[in-house]
Structure 1
Amino acid sequence: MAYTLYYGRSCGGIPSKTITWDENGTKDCSVWSGVTCDNRTGHVIGLDLTCSSLKGVIHSNSSLFFLRHLQSLILSYNDFWGSTISSEFGKLTHLVHLEIFESGFSGYFPPEFSYLSELVSLGLSSNDELILDTFTLKRIFSNLTSLEEHYLFQVDMTSVEPVSLMNLSSSMTSLTLDFCNLQGNLPDNIFYRWPNLEKVSLEANENLTGFLTKTNWSSPLKYLDLSFTEFLIDLPYLTESIKSLETLRLSSCKILGWNPTLLLNLTQMTSLDFSFNNFGGQVPWSFLNLKHLTYLGFQFNNFTGQLPDINAHNSSQISFSSDSSKNQSLGPLPLYLERISLDGNLLDGKIPHWIYSLQLLQILTLSDNQFTGQIDEFNSRSLKELDLSHNKLHGPIPRSIFQQVNLTWLDLSSNNLSGVVGLDEFSRLQNLISLPTILMVNSQFHHHP
């Protein structure tokens, strides 16, 4: 049975799974939502109570800990504030998959987790309320020799010595320790301990240092996120040695040897983020794998110039060209782009028409630049976030913006927009959770009730 850790999902009004347990008056747990039973023995082997609106403290004598045959336990997105990660979890020795995201657990990570020797995937998150120290980490992970997926988010690891991560299983395929306040130096050779490693994410451990040494990278790494750490990144070595990368996120890192031509080595790239790195020159469109790119993040650098326009050489091929008179091809139209974030640069000129034609685009943030011209109509209805604020845009607000039914964030402030729009237009955007003062900062913009 394969398991995958999921984090960041939304319950979105999902009804509690426990509601159905007594609907038919049956005690047959195999028909209960979220419950999986062994067909032969009848034992409960799986319990998924994600988004079940459960509240209260899970005490050490809870009936949960009598389900000794459990192989999979998911308690994510409930409200167990005041509960600790009880040492009784250590009695569930057949667990293969354990996932508890955003459910309010607090206190110290119990060393009894070391009894879960069959665990393959572990996912936990807290708001720095759950604490893991070096002693407990060493004890736990020296025994979890089958662990492949390890995800901790906002677990307080302030006192953990980074070298102790060497105790993690050599079978590790995915390691995520985001926002965990890891401090100190990560050993240079640590990543080579895991030959099957496909994902590393150490985002926002701002006092964590390290260096990717110039040694042959043996693992098939696909995902690397060292954003907002003190890692030294030898970019020429990285792009030459790890060509299997599909996601590379290096926001606010100490990047050595930046040269946009190095991006040509990353032929599998689908997601790229180099935000907050003080890069200059033009956005390196011609060196990107635009054919498969879904996420492009270059926020808060010093990129200048205009975004490329589309140049159609013939009916069968569409290419970019930064200067259509020179007919310079910069690659195929990025049909799969879902996010473009270029805020906080020095870009100017018009927003090119090809951006408005992207059918899968969900997030477009171009704020704090010097874009001019009018905002065109969007051809799709896929937008979730749109931020074009603090530019020099003028003209009316396109009607297509009010047809973006999934839009949660809209900011067009600090431009020179004009025209008339009814407040009922905004009422169509029922998922909108943020609408800055658009009526106040566009002096020629009017509204009617």
Structure 2
Amino acid sequence: MKNAGLIYFVLLFLLSCHSGSKKGTLEYVSVKKLTKLEHLFLLPSDSVMNMYDLSNDSIVDFPDLSSYTVKSLNLSGNLLDTIIPHFLPKGLERLNLSNNKYKGSVNVRRYTIPSLKEVDLSYNTLDSIRITEPLYRIILSHNNLVFIGLNQKNVQYIDVSYNIHLNRLVRFEPSLIDTVISEGVAGGKPLIGPISKNAGYHF
């Protein structure tokens, strides 16, 4: 892994002996640089890693990493527009999908990524997201979200900042979450969830 990202050159010395000439020719032949994903696929399929970085690797199609075990996977800065849960590594706890091409609606269904604790989908163009997997940390800033549906069983941190179309009245309950980041939403006013609304709280 230490040589990932380096450009390799094969240096070939071709000595051409022409009649009456002893002049040598030095020729360079460049070898194609491997992508981060290609480097990963060179590893044994049963490899176990705490973290693997596939950011900014021009990945278009969601890669099948299901034979690997990776706790933290960074796929930010690529060209992805789908999530294929059964392609994800085993034991995945943290998934970074920020700065990709996600738009429209995303649904992270319960029991599809059971080990997942954190997801980052910031800097996409999502307008709707539903997460029924009980995550601990959710980052959704800088999208176009108008709807957010959550399973709040474990959520401790959520960042929905700079979703300028998001209404102050949301479907999840902010008062039950330790940290809610909502800068750039609803004029900076605190978000109101179903419990707060039904209790008649005014912020």
TM-score bracket relative to the smaller structure: 0.5 to 0.7
Matched with 1:282 is: 60
Give yes or no for the alignment of 1:338 onto 2:93: yes
Change in Cα spacing, 1:233 to 1:334, as seen in structure 2 (3 Å) is same
For 1:281 and 1:422, the matched residues in 2 are separated by 33
Matched with 1:113 is: none
Give yes or no for the alignment of 1:307 onto 2:82: yes
Change in Cα spacing, 1:352 to 1:398, as seen in structure 2 (3 Å) is closer
For 2:115 and 2:81, the matched residues in 1 are separated by 23
Change in Cα spacing, 1:422 to 1:284, as seen in structure 2 (3 Å) is closer
Matched with 2:121 is: 366
Q: Which amino acid aligns with 1:292?
A: T
Report if aligned partners of 1:290, 1:334 keep a CA contact under 8 Å in 2.
Answer: yes
Change in Cα spacing, 1:365 to 1:269, as seen in structure 2 (3 Å) is same
Give yes or no for the alignment of 1:298 onto 2:75: yes
Residue correspondence of structure 1 range 262-273 to structure 2 within 5 A: 262-266=39-43, 267=45, 268-270=47-49, 271-273=51-53
1:346-368 per-position Cα deviation (integer Å, ceiling 9, x unaligned): 33353243587422222211100
For 1:281 and 1:399, the matched residues in 2 are separated by 28
Change in Cα spacing, 1:399 to 1:261, as seen in structure 2 (3 Å) is closer
For 2:166 and 2:139, the matched residues in 1 are separated by 14
| Partner-residue secondary structure (3-state), 2:69 | coil
Report if aligned partners of 2:54, 2:75 keep a CA contact under 8 Å in 1.
Answer: yes
For 2:161 and 2:111, the matched residues in 1 are separated by 19
Report if aligned partners of 2:52, 2:73 keep a CA contact under 8 Å in 1.
Answer: yes
Give yes or no for the alignment of 1:390 onto 2:142: yes
Instruction: Quote the offset at 1:292 in angstroms.
Output: 2.0
| Partner-residue secondary structure (3-state), 2:119 | strand
Give yes or no for the alignment of 1:404 onto 2:154: yes
1:10-69 per-position Cα deviation (integer Å, ceiling 9, x unaligned): xxxxxxxxxxxxxxxxxxxxxxxxxxxxxxxxxxxxxxxxxxxxxxxxxxxxxxxxxxxx
TM-score, normalised to structure 2, is 0.61
Instruction: Quote the offset at 1:446 in angstroms.
Output: 5.7
Unaligned runs of 5+ in 1: 1-199, 201-210, 213-230, 236-255, 311-318, 320-330
Instruction: Quote the offset at 1:411 in angstroms.
Output: 0.8
Residue correspondence of structure 1 range 172-321 to structure 2 within 5 A: 212=3, 233=6, 256-258=33-35, 260-266=37-43, 267=45, 268-270=47-49, 271-275=51-55, 278-282=56-60, 284-286=62-64, 288-299=65-76, 301=77, 303-309=78-84, 319=86
Q: Identity rate of aligned residues, in percent?
A: 21
Give yes or no for the alignment of 1:378 onto 2:132: yes
- Larger of the two Rg values belongs to structure: 1
Instruction: Quote the offset at 1:339 in angstroms.
Output: 0.4
* 2:177 aligned to which of 429, 443, 446: 429
Q: Which amino acid aligns with 2:174?
A: F
Unaligned runs of 5+ in 2: 9-32
Change in Cα spacing, 1:232 to 1:419, as seen in structure 2 (3 Å) is closer
Report if aligned partners of 1:411, 1:438 keep a CA contact under 8 Å in 2.
Answer: no
Matched with 1:351 is: 106
For 1:378 and 1:442, the matched residues in 2 are separated by 27
Q: Which amino acid aligns with 2:34?
A: G
For 2:61 and 2:72, the matched residues in 1 are separated by 14
Instruction: Quote the offset at 1:233 in angstroms.
Output: 3.1
Report if aligned partners of 2:168, 2:185 keep a CA contact under 8 Å in 1.
Answer: no
Report if aligned partners of 2:131, 2:150 keep a CA contact under 8 Å in 1.
Answer: yes
TM-score, normalised to structure 1, is 0.31
Change in Cα spacing, 1:427 to 1:343, as seen in structure 2 (3 Å) is same
Higher relative contact order (Cα pairs below 8 Å, separated by 6+ residues):
2
Q: Which amino acid aligns with 1:400?
A: N
For 2:145 and 2:67, the matched residues in 1 are separated by 27
Residue correspondence of structure 1 range 323-334 to structure 2 within 5 A: 331=87, 334=89
Q: What value does the CA root-mean-square deviation take over the aligned residues?
A: 3.8
Change in Cα spacing, 1:233 to 1:390, as seen in structure 2 (3 Å) is same
Residue correspondences, number: 167
